[in-house]
Structure 1
Amino acid sequence: MRPRFPRSTVLALTALVLLSAPVSALAAEAKIVRVWPEYRAAESFVRIGEYFGGVESAPETIVRSQPDSRDGYYFLTRFKTPEALPGSILVLEYYVPGDELARVQFFPVDLEKGSRAILAGLTGADWTDAKAAPTAWRLRLLGPSGAELARQQSFLWSLPPAETTANASYPASAPASTEPVAPAATPAG
Protein backbone atom coordinates (compact mmCIF):
# COMPACT_ATOMS: atom_id res chain seq x y z
CA MET A 1 0.00 0.00 0.00
CA ARG A 2 1.42 3.38 -0.98
CA PRO A 3 1.51 6.25 1.50
CA ARG A 4 -1.10 8.97 1.09
CA PHE A 5 -0.41 12.60 1.79
CA PRO A 6 -3.13 14.82 3.13
CA ARG A 7 -4.65 17.08 0.50
CA SER A 8 -3.57 20.22 2.41
CA THR A 9 0.07 19.07 2.31
CA VAL A 10 -0.08 18.47 -1.46
CA LEU A 11 -1.66 21.90 -2.03
CA ALA A 12 0.92 23.59 0.19
CA LEU A 13 3.82 21.93 -1.64
CA THR A 14 2.34 22.83 -5.04
CA ALA A 15 1.91 26.45 -3.98
CA LEU A 16 5.48 26.55 -2.66
CA VAL A 17 6.89 25.27 -5.97
CA LEU A 18 4.84 27.73 -8.02
CA LEU A 19 5.71 30.69 -5.81
CA SER A 20 9.41 29.88 -5.81
CA ALA A 21 9.54 30.43 -9.60
CA PRO A 22 10.75 33.91 -10.51
CA VAL A 23 7.92 36.39 -10.56
CA SER A 24 9.52 38.18 -13.49
CA ALA A 25 9.66 35.08 -15.70
CA LEU A 26 7.10 36.56 -18.09
CA ALA A 27 8.76 39.97 -18.04
CA ALA A 28 12.02 38.34 -19.10
CA GLU A 29 10.33 37.53 -22.40
CA ALA A 30 10.18 41.24 -23.29
CA LYS A 31 12.14 41.82 -26.45
CA ILE A 32 13.20 44.55 -28.79
CA VAL A 33 11.89 43.68 -32.23
CA ARG A 34 13.67 46.41 -34.20
CA VAL A 35 15.39 49.78 -33.80
CA TRP A 36 15.27 52.49 -36.48
CA PRO A 37 17.71 55.33 -35.62
CA GLU A 38 17.42 58.62 -37.55
CA TYR A 39 17.53 62.40 -37.24
CA ARG A 40 14.12 64.09 -37.29
CA ALA A 41 13.31 67.78 -37.63
CA ALA A 42 10.63 69.35 -35.44
CA GLU A 43 8.31 69.79 -38.44
CA SER A 44 8.03 66.02 -38.89
CA PHE A 45 6.09 65.80 -35.62
CA VAL A 46 3.43 68.40 -36.41
CA ARG A 47 -0.01 66.84 -36.96
CA ILE A 48 -3.11 68.54 -38.30
CA GLY A 49 -4.65 68.81 -34.82
CA GLU A 50 -1.82 71.08 -33.65
CA TYR A 51 -2.77 73.68 -36.25
CA PHE A 52 -6.16 73.96 -34.55
CA GLY A 53 -4.76 74.40 -31.05
CA GLY A 54 -4.41 70.73 -30.13
CA VAL A 55 -1.49 69.12 -28.37
CA GLU A 56 1.10 66.83 -29.91
CA SER A 57 -0.29 63.39 -30.64
CA ALA A 58 1.45 60.45 -32.26
CA PRO A 59 0.75 56.75 -32.74
CA GLU A 60 3.83 55.86 -30.68
CA THR A 61 4.97 56.95 -27.23
CA ILE A 62 7.50 59.81 -27.51
CA VAL A 63 10.14 60.50 -24.86
CA ARG A 64 12.77 63.21 -25.26
CA SER A 65 15.95 64.12 -23.41
CA GLN A 66 14.88 67.79 -23.61
CA PRO A 67 11.04 67.71 -23.56
CA ASP A 68 10.66 71.25 -24.94
CA SER A 69 12.69 70.54 -28.08
CA ARG A 70 11.60 68.32 -30.97
CA ASP A 71 14.64 68.51 -33.29
CA GLY A 72 17.00 65.63 -32.59
CA TYR A 73 18.27 62.13 -33.16
CA TYR A 74 15.60 59.52 -32.46
CA PHE A 75 15.53 55.79 -31.90
CA LEU A 76 12.18 54.37 -32.98
CA THR A 77 12.07 51.10 -31.06
CA ARG A 78 9.42 48.40 -31.31
CA PHE A 79 8.99 46.28 -28.19
CA LYS A 80 7.03 43.08 -27.71
CA THR A 81 5.98 42.16 -24.17
CA PRO A 82 3.59 39.49 -22.86
CA GLU A 83 2.49 41.77 -20.01
CA ALA A 84 2.39 45.47 -19.18
CA LEU A 85 5.60 46.87 -17.70
CA PRO A 86 4.77 50.12 -15.92
CA GLY A 87 7.68 51.94 -14.31
CA SER A 88 10.30 50.62 -16.73
CA ILE A 89 13.34 52.58 -17.88
CA LEU A 90 14.79 52.78 -21.38
CA VAL A 91 18.56 53.32 -21.13
CA LEU A 92 20.26 54.78 -24.21
CA GLU A 93 24.06 54.71 -24.26
CA TYR A 94 25.77 56.35 -27.24
CA TYR A 95 28.98 57.83 -28.59
CA VAL A 96 28.91 61.25 -30.24
CA PRO A 97 31.29 61.50 -33.22
CA GLY A 98 34.67 62.67 -31.95
CA ASP A 99 34.02 61.84 -28.27
CA GLU A 100 35.89 59.03 -26.52
CA LEU A 101 33.42 58.59 -23.67
CA ALA A 102 29.91 57.21 -23.98
CA ARG A 103 26.97 59.34 -22.94
CA VAL A 104 23.86 57.94 -21.23
CA GLN A 105 20.20 59.00 -21.21
CA PHE A 106 17.45 57.46 -19.07
CA PHE A 107 13.86 57.55 -20.28
CA PRO A 108 11.04 56.44 -17.95
CA VAL A 109 8.46 54.45 -19.93
CA ASP A 110 5.26 52.57 -19.18
CA LEU A 111 5.13 49.74 -21.68
CA GLU A 112 1.72 48.28 -22.40
CA LYS A 113 1.14 44.62 -23.15
CA GLY A 114 1.75 43.53 -26.74
CA SER A 115 3.70 45.15 -29.55
CA ARG A 116 4.42 48.82 -28.84
CA ALA A 117 6.66 51.48 -30.38
CA ILE A 118 8.60 54.07 -28.41
CA LEU A 119 10.34 57.02 -30.02
CA ALA A 120 13.27 58.00 -27.76
CA GLY A 121 14.94 61.25 -28.80
CA LEU A 122 18.19 62.99 -28.05
CA THR A 123 16.95 66.54 -28.44
CA GLY A 124 17.97 70.13 -27.76
CA ALA A 125 21.50 70.50 -26.41
CA ASP A 126 21.88 66.70 -26.31
CA TRP A 127 21.95 66.50 -30.14
CA THR A 128 22.61 69.63 -32.17
CA ASP A 129 24.01 68.33 -35.48
CA ALA A 130 21.34 67.30 -37.98
CA LYS A 131 23.92 65.66 -40.26
CA ALA A 132 25.66 63.57 -37.60
CA ALA A 133 24.79 60.09 -36.39
CA PRO A 134 25.99 58.31 -33.25
CA THR A 135 29.24 56.43 -33.75
CA ALA A 136 27.84 53.52 -31.72
CA TRP A 137 24.81 52.96 -29.47
CA ARG A 138 23.13 50.49 -27.14
CA LEU A 139 19.49 50.43 -25.94
CA ARG A 140 18.50 48.53 -22.81
CA LEU A 141 15.06 48.06 -21.27
CA LEU A 142 15.13 47.84 -17.48
CA GLY A 143 12.08 46.55 -15.64
CA PRO A 144 10.61 48.19 -12.53
CA SER A 145 13.03 46.18 -10.35
CA GLY A 146 16.04 47.39 -12.36
CA ALA A 147 16.64 44.02 -14.03
CA GLU A 148 17.58 44.14 -17.70
CA LEU A 149 14.73 42.73 -19.79
CA ALA A 150 15.96 43.40 -23.34
CA ARG A 151 18.86 44.97 -25.20
CA GLN A 152 19.91 45.84 -28.71
CA GLN A 153 23.04 47.56 -29.93
CA SER A 154 24.75 48.77 -33.06
CA PHE A 155 27.46 46.66 -34.64
CA LEU A 156 30.18 49.09 -33.57
CA TRP A 157 29.09 48.88 -29.93
CA SER A 158 29.94 45.18 -29.93
CA LEU A 159 33.55 45.74 -31.01
CA PRO A 160 36.26 45.79 -28.34
CA PRO A 161 37.66 49.22 -27.45
CA ALA A 162 40.68 50.29 -29.48
CA GLU A 163 44.01 50.15 -27.75
CA THR A 164 45.44 53.57 -27.11
CA THR A 165 49.06 54.22 -27.95
CA ALA A 166 51.34 56.91 -26.64
CA ASN A 167 52.43 59.66 -28.99
CA ALA A 168 55.36 58.55 -31.10
CA SER A 169 58.70 59.99 -30.06
CA TYR A 170 62.34 59.51 -30.95
CA PRO A 171 64.23 56.93 -28.96
CA ALA A 172 66.73 58.44 -26.54
CA SER A 173 69.64 57.28 -28.73
CA ALA A 174 68.38 59.00 -31.90
CA PRO A 175 69.62 62.52 -32.55
CA ALA A 176 66.90 65.13 -32.47
CA SER A 177 66.78 67.23 -35.61
CA THR A 178 64.60 70.05 -36.79
CA GLU A 179 66.03 69.90 -40.33
CA PRO A 180 63.51 68.95 -43.03
CA VAL A 181 64.21 65.60 -44.62
CA ALA A 182 64.75 65.68 -48.37
CA PRO A 183 62.87 63.09 -50.41
CA ALA A 184 64.94 60.19 -51.68
CA ALA A 185 66.29 60.63 -55.18
CA THR A 186 64.64 58.49 -57.82
CA PRO A 187 66.73 56.99 -60.61
CA ALA A 188 66.19 58.52 -64.02
CA GLY A 189 64.53 56.13 -66.38
Structure 2
Amino acid sequence: MRRIAFRLFLPLLLLGSVRLPAAGLEIVRVLTEWRDAKSFQRISEYFDGRENTGGTIILRTQPAERAGYYWLVRLKNGGAAVPGAKFELRVIAPSSPEPKTFVFSAEVSAGARLYQLGLTGNDWPGAKARPAAWRLRVLDAGGGVLAGEKSFLWEIPGK
Protein backbone atom coordinates (compact mmCIF):
# COMPACT_ATOMS: atom_id res chain seq x y z
CA MET A 1 0.00 0.00 0.00
CA ARG A 2 2.84 2.39 0.83
CA ARG A 3 4.51 1.66 -2.50
CA ILE A 4 1.37 2.52 -4.43
CA ALA A 5 0.95 5.78 -2.52
CA PHE A 6 4.64 6.59 -3.03
CA ARG A 7 4.39 5.89 -6.77
CA LEU A 8 1.42 8.22 -7.04
CA PHE A 9 2.87 10.94 -4.82
CA LEU A 10 6.42 11.07 -6.24
CA PRO A 11 5.48 12.31 -9.75
CA LEU A 12 3.26 15.00 -8.23
CA LEU A 13 6.09 16.11 -5.96
CA LEU A 14 8.56 16.26 -8.84
CA LEU A 15 6.11 18.04 -11.13
CA GLY A 16 5.42 20.64 -8.46
CA SER A 17 9.10 21.57 -8.29
CA VAL A 18 9.50 22.11 -12.05
CA ARG A 19 9.32 25.76 -13.13
CA LEU A 20 7.10 26.01 -16.18
CA PRO A 21 7.34 28.95 -18.58
CA ALA A 22 4.44 31.36 -18.88
CA ALA A 23 1.94 29.94 -21.33
CA GLY A 24 2.24 31.57 -24.72
CA LEU A 25 5.11 33.95 -23.96
CA GLU A 26 7.39 34.22 -26.97
CA ILE A 27 9.85 36.57 -28.58
CA VAL A 28 8.46 37.05 -32.07
CA ARG A 29 11.31 39.09 -33.52
CA VAL A 30 14.50 40.89 -32.53
CA LEU A 31 16.10 43.58 -34.70
CA THR A 32 19.25 45.46 -33.77
CA GLU A 33 20.49 48.87 -34.88
CA TRP A 34 22.27 52.06 -33.85
CA ARG A 35 19.90 54.97 -33.26
CA ASP A 36 20.82 58.63 -32.99
CA ALA A 37 19.11 60.74 -30.32
CA LYS A 38 17.23 62.73 -32.99
CA SER A 39 15.53 59.59 -34.31
CA PHE A 40 13.43 59.50 -31.12
CA GLN A 41 12.13 63.06 -31.40
CA ARG A 42 8.55 63.60 -32.49
CA ILE A 43 6.78 66.86 -33.09
CA SER A 44 4.77 66.57 -29.86
CA GLU A 45 8.02 66.73 -27.88
CA TYR A 46 8.60 70.29 -29.10
CA PHE A 47 5.31 71.35 -27.49
CA ASP A 48 5.36 69.56 -24.15
CA GLY A 49 9.03 68.58 -23.70
CA ARG A 50 8.21 64.91 -22.98
CA GLU A 51 9.42 61.97 -25.04
CA ASN A 52 6.60 60.44 -27.07
CA THR A 53 7.29 56.72 -27.38
CA GLY A 54 4.35 55.98 -29.65
CA GLY A 55 3.30 53.03 -27.48
CA THR A 56 6.72 51.40 -27.57
CA ILE A 57 8.34 50.66 -24.20
CA ILE A 58 11.84 52.14 -24.29
CA LEU A 59 14.35 50.96 -21.69
CA ARG A 60 17.87 52.41 -21.64
CA THR A 61 20.99 51.68 -19.64
CA GLN A 62 21.54 55.45 -19.30
CA PRO A 63 18.00 56.94 -19.27
CA ALA A 64 19.23 60.49 -19.90
CA GLU A 65 21.05 59.42 -23.09
CA ARG A 66 19.02 58.47 -26.17
CA ALA A 67 21.75 57.70 -28.70
CA GLY A 68 22.86 54.10 -28.55
CA TYR A 69 22.65 50.57 -29.87
CA TYR A 70 19.12 49.16 -29.57
CA TRP A 71 17.45 45.77 -29.61
CA LEU A 72 13.90 46.13 -30.95
CA VAL A 73 11.98 43.24 -29.37
CA ARG A 74 8.46 42.21 -30.34
CA LEU A 75 7.07 40.14 -27.47
CA LYS A 76 3.82 38.18 -27.62
CA ASN A 77 2.24 37.08 -24.36
CA GLY A 78 -0.79 34.84 -24.78
CA GLY A 79 -1.02 34.30 -21.02
CA ALA A 80 -1.38 36.52 -17.97
CA ALA A 81 0.78 39.55 -17.21
CA VAL A 82 4.19 38.82 -15.68
CA PRO A 83 4.88 41.29 -12.85
CA GLY A 84 8.50 41.84 -11.91
CA ALA A 85 9.83 40.53 -15.23
CA LYS A 86 13.29 41.42 -16.49
CA PHE A 87 15.07 41.43 -19.83
CA GLU A 88 18.58 40.03 -19.48
CA LEU A 89 20.81 41.04 -22.39
CA ARG A 90 24.31 39.55 -22.67
CA VAL A 91 26.48 41.19 -25.31
CA ILE A 92 29.95 40.56 -26.68
CA ALA A 93 31.03 43.99 -27.89
CA PRO A 94 33.68 44.44 -30.58
CA SER A 95 36.05 45.88 -27.97
CA SER A 96 36.08 42.86 -25.62
CA PRO A 97 35.69 39.07 -25.97
CA GLU A 98 34.02 38.82 -22.55
CA PRO A 99 30.22 39.15 -22.49
CA LYS A 100 28.69 42.00 -20.50
CA THR A 101 25.28 41.57 -18.92
CA PHE A 102 22.62 44.28 -18.86
CA VAL A 103 19.31 43.87 -17.02
CA PHE A 104 16.18 45.89 -17.77
CA SER A 105 13.17 45.70 -15.42
CA ALA A 106 9.82 45.65 -17.20
CA GLU A 107 6.22 44.76 -16.60
CA VAL A 108 5.26 42.26 -19.28
CA SER A 109 1.54 42.64 -19.90
CA ALA A 110 -0.74 40.24 -21.74
CA GLY A 111 -0.89 40.65 -25.50
CA ALA A 112 1.70 41.88 -27.99
CA ARG A 113 4.13 44.65 -27.04
CA LEU A 114 7.12 46.30 -28.60
CA TYR A 115 10.20 47.00 -26.48
CA GLN A 116 13.37 48.90 -27.33
CA LEU A 117 16.32 47.94 -25.15
CA GLY A 118 19.11 50.46 -25.54
CA LEU A 119 22.77 50.37 -24.57
CA THR A 120 23.30 54.10 -24.32
CA GLY A 121 25.91 56.56 -23.09
CA ASN A 122 29.18 54.94 -22.02
CA ASP A 123 27.63 51.46 -22.29
CA TRP A 124 28.18 51.34 -26.07
CA PRO A 125 31.37 52.34 -27.95
CA GLY A 126 29.72 54.34 -30.75
CA ALA A 127 27.64 54.49 -33.92
CA LYS A 128 29.93 52.32 -36.04
CA ALA A 129 30.33 49.51 -33.46
CA ARG A 130 28.29 46.32 -33.88
CA PRO A 131 27.96 43.49 -31.37
CA ALA A 132 29.96 40.34 -32.12
CA ALA A 133 27.23 38.21 -30.49
CA TRP A 134 24.30 38.59 -28.10
CA ARG A 135 21.71 36.63 -26.10
CA LEU A 136 18.41 38.01 -24.82
CA ARG A 137 16.26 36.29 -22.20
CA VAL A 138 12.98 37.28 -20.55
CA LEU A 139 13.06 36.32 -16.87
CA ASP A 140 10.27 36.11 -14.31
CA ALA A 141 10.54 37.75 -10.87
CA GLY A 142 12.30 34.64 -9.50
CA GLY A 143 14.90 34.53 -12.30
CA GLY A 144 13.28 31.72 -14.29
CA VAL A 145 13.62 31.90 -18.07
CA LEU A 146 10.32 32.59 -19.83
CA ALA A 147 11.62 33.15 -23.37
CA GLY A 148 14.89 33.73 -25.16
CA GLU A 149 16.57 34.62 -28.43
CA LYS A 150 20.20 34.81 -29.50
CA SER A 151 22.36 35.78 -32.41
CA PHE A 152 23.86 33.10 -34.62
CA LEU A 153 27.39 33.70 -33.33
CA TRP A 154 26.37 33.20 -29.69
CA GLU A 155 26.35 29.43 -30.27
CA ILE A 156 29.75 29.07 -31.91
CA PRO A 157 32.10 27.36 -29.42
CA GLY A 158 35.37 29.03 -28.48
CA LYS A 159 38.54 27.85 -30.14
- Say how many residue pairs are matched: 144
| Unaligned residue ranges in structure 2 (runs of 5+) | 1-11
Q: For 2:136 and 2:21, locate their aligned partners in 1 and report how far apart those are by CA, in whole Å.
A: 20
From 124, 127, 132, the counterpart of 1:127: 124
Q: Distance in 1 between matches of 2:147 and 2:21?
A: 12
Q: Cα gap change, 1:97/1:39 in structure 2, threshold over 3 Å: closer, same or farther?
A: same
C-alpha deviations, 1:24-50, integer Å up to 9, x for none?
Answer: 756153111100000000000001111
Single out whichever of 50-59 and 105-114 deviates more from structure 2.
50-59
List per-residue Cα deviations over 1:128-164 (Å, max 9, x = no partner). Answer: 31011100000000011210000100000011112xx
How has the CA–CA distance of structure 1 residues 43 and 66 changed in structure 2, closer, same or farther, with 3 Å as cutoff? same
Once residues 23 and 55 of structure 1 are traced to their aligned partners in structure 2, the CA distance between those partners, rounded to angstroms, is: 44
Partner of 1:171: none
Verify the 8 A CA contact 2:19 2:144 in the aligned structure 1: no
Contact preservation (8 Å) 2:88, 2:102: yes
Name stretches of at least 5 consecutive residues in structure 1 with no aligned partner.
Answer: 1-16, 163-189
2:61 pairs with one of 47, 54, 65? 65
Asked which structure has the greater RCO (Cα within 8 Å, sep 6+), the reply is 2
- Cα distance, 1:21 vs. partner? 6.0
What CA distance in whole angstroms lies between the structure 2 residues aligned with 1:143 and 1:34?
19
2:44 equivalent in structure 1? 49
Match of 1:79 in 2: 75
In 1: Cα distance, 2:148 partner to 2:111 partner: 17
Identity, in percent, stands at 43
- Give 1:53 shift: 2.3
Change in 2 beyond 3 A, CA 1:26/1:93: closer
Aligned to 1:4: none
Opposite residue 67 of structure 1, the aligned amino acid is: P
- 2-side partners of 1:108 and 1:75: how far apart? 15
Distance 1:98 1:115 in 2: 35
Deviation track 1:75-95 (CA, whole Å, cap 9, x = no partner) reads: 000111122112101000001
Instruction: State the TM-score, normalized to the length of structure 1.
Output: 0.71
Equivalent AA in structure 2 for residue 153 of structure 1 = K
Q: TM-score, normalised by structure 2?
A: 0.84
Aligned residues of 2:21 and 2:146 also touching (Cα < 8 A): no
Please state which structure has a larger fraction of its residues in strand: 2
Runs of 4+ aligned structure 1 residues displaced above 4 Å come to: 20-26
Residues 39 and 67 from structure 1, CA distance in 2 versus in 1: closer, same or farther, beyond 3 angstroms?
same
Coordinate RMSD, CA, aligned: 1.9
Shift of 1:124: 0.2
